[in-house]
Amino acid sequence: MERAVCRAASTYKALIPPLLSKAYNTRPATKPWRPTVTKQANLPTPLGLESSKAVQDFAAQHKIESSEAMKTVAKQTKLTIMRVQACHRHAFDHQHEPYFEQQEHPLTKKILWRCYEWKLNRPLWLYATATTNDGSTAVMRRQAECRTLAAVKAAIKASGFDSDGTSLNGRDGVIYGTISFVIWSPRTLLSLEWQELVEYLGGLVKTQILPSYVKTPGSRPRVQRSPAMKPQALKTQTQRPGFQKPWSRKSGGFTIM
């Protein structure tokens, strides 16, 4: 009985004209569901095969690292607002690397020329990038970037260094490396008091940047003195009792080593 009913229903549906069958489908067509992706900062791309040969040669010649060389600075308490990254060497910003592909972009040479100028005149490189996580406008993001750079420069100056990393008195060396700021919430950063922002960045500069990123002029790794340069008195003290010195043959006869 059920099979007969199903056959009759299918036959009846097949006999309905196409125009009448469309009238039964009153529900509007829905688009397939897709997960919403929040727009964030561009992920860093290493200077590998994706970059052009000219950019790779430039980076190797002037010792400029990829943005992946920057690591997150420790002891940060405002990670929901911004993230501070640093590197002991000069590095590109992650916003530069989309222009370093095989097909040369019109802005590629401009970026490389600016990095070359910084390499000659600035021991310390500073970057700031604001994202759109909180729905901020382009003007707010630009204001947040400028405010962050101005605050960190004020904190560095309060520590006795210029904004480019050079010492104000000329004796304390330079701050060498790269510091990058990724601003997650430009709205919240703009609502912070100026003194609060300067004190927060100043604490990171004093505790995390200055102890390991300052290079003094003429600082070189200590070289151990060879045994031939040591005094004879120190050499005889380390010899065990009853030890005989070896003999060696030279052009003038036998000589004590």
**For the whole prediction, is pTM greater than 0.75?**
no
CA distance 81 to 187: 9
Q: What confidence score (pLDDT) does residue 51 get?
A: 76
Give the bridge partners for 124, in sequence order: 177
Nearest to 84 by CA among 173, 215, 191, 189: 189
Which CATH class, in words, describes the domain spanning 68-91+123-215?
A: alpha beta
Give the bridge partners for 84, in sequence order: 181
Residue 234 pLDDT exceeds 80 = no
Only one residue has tokens 């990123």, namely: 213
Residue 24's pLDDT band, with cuts at 50, 70 and 90, is: very low
Q: Which pLDDT tens digit goes with each residue over 129-171?
A: 999 888 889 999 999 999 999 999 999 999 999 999 999 887 8
Residue 3's pLDDT band, with cuts at 50, 70 and 90, is: low
For the chain, give every domain's residue range. Answer: 68-91+123-215
Amino acid at site 170: G
Say which residue, 217 or 87, is predicted with more confidence. 87
64 touches 115 (CB < 8 A): yes
Q: Which pLDDT tens digit goes with each residue over 91-118?
A: 999 888 888 887 778 888 889 999 999 9
Lowest model confidence (mean pLDDT) among 33-47, 101-115, 117-131: 33-47
Q: What is the 3-state secondary structure (H, E, C) of 7-73?
A: HHHHHHHHHCCHHHHHHHCCCCCCCCCCCCCCCCCCCCCCCCCCECHHHHHHHHHHCCECHHHCEEC
Q: Please state the length of the chain.
A: 257
